[in-house]
Amino acid sequence: MPITFHFKSNEKSQEMTEDSLPEGVTEEEFKQQYAKIVYCNYTDCFWNTRIEGLKKTKASLLMNRSYVPLEVPGFSAVCSRTEIAIQLNTYTRGTQKQPIPTCFTTAKNGKTGHMDFARLLQPDGSPYGGSLESQHPTIDNSFEGYI
């Protein structure tokens, strides 16, 4: 006999259909109160800006002078994007699950989430793999598109 579990959360899920701020708070006030410096060593990101003379150690960020990092001791670049988003992704290594915060707004070409579809075309302008019209059997009523 199968066992079924139903979990109820006390939190109500919020609909994320449009942007909004807390009542009575303007965007300028919100930015003034919550504006932060984001140190970043991801040099492939379009928004990563290296600033000459900037050195921020991990020990000073953690407010722990005795902290000794295993790898890179600090940061010499910041994120120059006006708004960023950090999302929590869960990665599994073996049998362990580990939540890791990752930047949602990274971009190698300045456009987050942008894909250059032109690179999917051959030099003559035709798509790789043949005709797009005959790629599914329900379109041409046969399997000739797959042969």
Q: Where exactly are the structural domains of the chain?
A: 27-114, 115-147
The reply to whether the predicted model has a pTM over 0.85 is no
What is the chain's pLDDT, residue by residue, as a tens digit (147 residues)?
A: 556 555 555 656 566 677 788 888 888 898 888 888 889 888 888 888 998 888 888 888 888 888 888 888 888 899 988 888 888 888 888 888 888 888 888 887 766 555 666 677 777 777 666 555 555 555 555 555 455
Per DSSP, the three-state class of 117 is helix
Instruction: Please state, in angstroms and rounded to a whole number, the distance separating the CA atoms of residues 19 and 17.
Output: 7
